[in-house]
Amino acid sequence: MPYSRWILFPVIIYLVSIFYLQGLNGDYVIAQIIYGAEGGSWVLKKHWLTETLIHKWGHHLVIALYISIMGIYVISFRNKRLSNYNSGLKYLVIGIPLGTLIVSLLKHVTHISCPWDLTAFGGDQPYFPWVRSILESNIKESGQCFPAGHASSAYTYFTLFFFSRNYFPDYAKTVLLCVLFFGLIYGVSQQLRGAHFLSHDLTSALICWFSSLALWIYFSRENTLKKSKILIDSGEEND
């Protein structure tokens, strides 16, 4: 089946992780360790490194990158050399905001609390695994912390990985590692601030991966990725 490893492998990793983090309370345990290491309070919540540099300026960074891509896309209509990448740039312009939009919508309907909202971590809300909160109608929460928004702003650039596979295949793995690195940095910094559990970040990563993949498959099937090397999960791949 084409693309099978890009579908099955992330899903298996996610389900195993969620079994530990939600089923075995791993989320809560990890948050307790972080909270205790910070002296029983979220001392990094307002720290310049986590709040100003990684959260505030990190957000500005991904926006600036997206604006740059949009600018290149517009120029590609008038530039002969860039016109070869027009379809791929269109994919990026649509795909980059898609992942964060899905995460944002889910944040507004799931109503899951942040760690810093919970009584165990200095807040006033009881803790429930988010799987229970979503599935059990008698559990009412009022937060907007699931999935993780900040991490999604990095993970949504999985689109660059698929773009690179078409146009710059030699750099695709490097691009993927860079996206994972920034997603990890963005996610961990928010965990250190008490804004998210680990599973929140993993869920955002999965959403962004599949939104990027689904759109890439659509563009590929519609033959809209011109001047490209459309690589699928076949015997000809060198991965």
**Residue 189 corresponds to which tokens in the numbers above?**
């910094």
CA distance 92 to 107: 23
Q: Which helix (H) or strand (E) holds 110?
A: helix 86-110
Q: Report the pLDDT value the prediction gives residue 224, as an integer from 0 to 100.
A: 57
Q: Report the pLDDT value the prediction gives residue 143, as an integer from 0 to 100.
A: 85
Q: Report the pLDDT value the prediction gives residue 155, as an integer from 0 to 100.
A: 98
Q: What is the pLDDT of residues 160-189, one digit of tens each?
A: 999 999 999 999 999 999 999 999 999 999
Query: At residue 114, what are phi and psi to the nearest 5 degrees?
Result: -85, 160
Q: How far is CA 50 from the centre of its chain?
A: 18
Classify residue 85 by its DSSP letter.
Answer: G
pTM: 0.90
What are the distances in angstroms from CA 125 to CA 140, 149, 205? 10, 21, 26
- With a cut of 50, which residues of the chain have pLDDT below it? 1, 227-239
Residues 6+ away with beta carbon under 8 Å from 76: 82, 83, 85, 86, 89
